[in-house]
Amino acid sequence: MTAITLLALGVLVAGRSAAPAGSAASIPRAIVIATARGESVVPVYADEGHPALPTPLLIPLLPMTQRIEHGWAVVGFAGQPFRFLLGAPVLEYAGNVVPLAGGAYVARDTLFVPLQWLAEHIPRLFREGYRYDPLAARFEEARLAPVVTRRATPSATRTSTVRPPSELARRNGFRMRHAVVVDAGHGGPDDGNPGRYLPRGVKEKHVTLAVAKLLQDELKRRGVSVVMTRTTDTLIDLRDRARLCSEECDLFVSIHVNSLLPRRGYQNVNGFETYFLGQSATAEARRVAAMENEAMRYETGYDPGEIDDPVDFIFRDLQVNEFLRESALLADLVQTHGAAVHPGSDRGAAQNPYFVVLREATRPAILVETGFATNRRDGQFVASSSGQQKLAKAISDGIVEYLLRYEAKVLLEARP
């Protein structure tokens, strides 16, 4: 007898005996995950008629892993595998079939697991390790030492009322309407770097536009509105690009391709990196900013080397500081997803106060260097259709995870 048959029999035998983790009226809007490292809030979704949790927000907080194979979601918790048949209200663990009030499901690219699993089954199986308080909607380590609650302070970043999401956005796990500005670096007379290992006739401006368009498609597919700074081979003033992200915009992302001037070993340097505004700047960060700011010579004749004191400019008030903190989180999430699919090294998320395109931003903003055109493997990757698709999806994954975390903060601030 197959596992699927066993699961079906389990559901039939169980009938309606599997009670949900609270009635529909008592479904929490969010739960608190409390560990020795602190507390975080994870939103609860009921799109399929039962409370469920997005695994991308659980995995950084708990000893969890996930993979999806042949219609199954295999979720690891503390080294123990739990198998969910996607779309079915059953769970298989240690050879036993467990009926649930509602099953795991995938909304586009996000796996959701039933709250009932975390609230009832995990505390039962790991009695010495975890417990769940349904009244407080709190899942915590059983032997928890005093922790510092990581509650978001009321943010100056977005003070407008919550905008209801579209039907497509709701199906993809969002509770709010979101908009992103995607910037394809360079364009028109500004080719960007020619790239030693880009195909003949292909310049940085062509690669950035291709990746930006694919990123637009990925985000729109998940219910996120997108504004493009350019959709053709044209030049947009650096200082005008980020200004498109205001009022109804959530974040700004600029796509670029890195390169190096000839020097010993320069063709060996490779990898994916993400920049955000910050006080610190390494020599490498200064080099990259100077390269990307060169576009200004096509606009006004302004010398990028004469940029005024960036620290004085970007740290002028508390609201900008809040944007910078959010930008750091966004950069870290995009870097994590991007590095996971990139053939080169993980160069990390780094601060840089010198990018003109980011300094005009009034929302969280990042600049993504998708690879080195002066490295053979990177150049082939960023110029290939498969590589561009992987990059677009990975960047989209990071953006979506950031937006979900932002929604969790809003829900926390709204709690009485």
Average pLDDT over residues 156-182: 65
Q: Are 398 and 338 in contact (CB under 8 A)?
A: yes
pLDDT in tens, 91-150: 998 888 889 999 999 986 789 999 999 999 999 888 778 899 998 899 998 754 333 333
Q: How many helices (H) and strands (E) are present in the chain, helices listed first?
A: 13, 18
pLDDT at residue 281 tops 80? no
**For residue 291, is pLDDT > 80?**
no
Residue 163 — pLDDT band, cuts 50, 70, 90? low
Provide the pLDDT for residue 164.
57
At a CB cut-off of 8 Å and minimum separation 6, what does 416 contact?
A: none
User: In the prediction, which pLDDT does 271 show?
Assistant: 97
Q: How far apart are CA 68 and CA 66, in angstroms?
A: 7
pLDDT of amino acid 13: 39
Is the pLDDT at 51 greater than 50, yes or no?
yes
Three-state DSSP class for residue 70:
coil
Residue 85: its pLDDT value, please?
93
What pLDDT, on the 0 to 100 scale, is given for residue 361?
81
74-83, 169-178, 282-291, 335-344: range with highest mean pLDDT: 335-344
Predicted pLDDT at 153: 32
What is the percentage of the chain residues whose pLDDT exceeds 90? 44
Higher pLDDT, 115 or 287: 115
pLDDT band at 207 (very low <50, low <70, confident <90, very high): very high
Q: Does residue 341 surpass a pLDDT of 80?
A: yes
The four Cα atoms 110, 113, 118, 122 give a dihedral, to 10 degrees, of: -110
Helix axes 385-414, 318-341, angle to 10 degrees: 140
Cα angle at 56 between 54 and 59, to 5 degrees? 110
Domains, the chain, in order of start with CATH, read 17-141 (3.30.457.10), 167-414 (3.40.630.40)
Structure tokens of 407?
């929604």
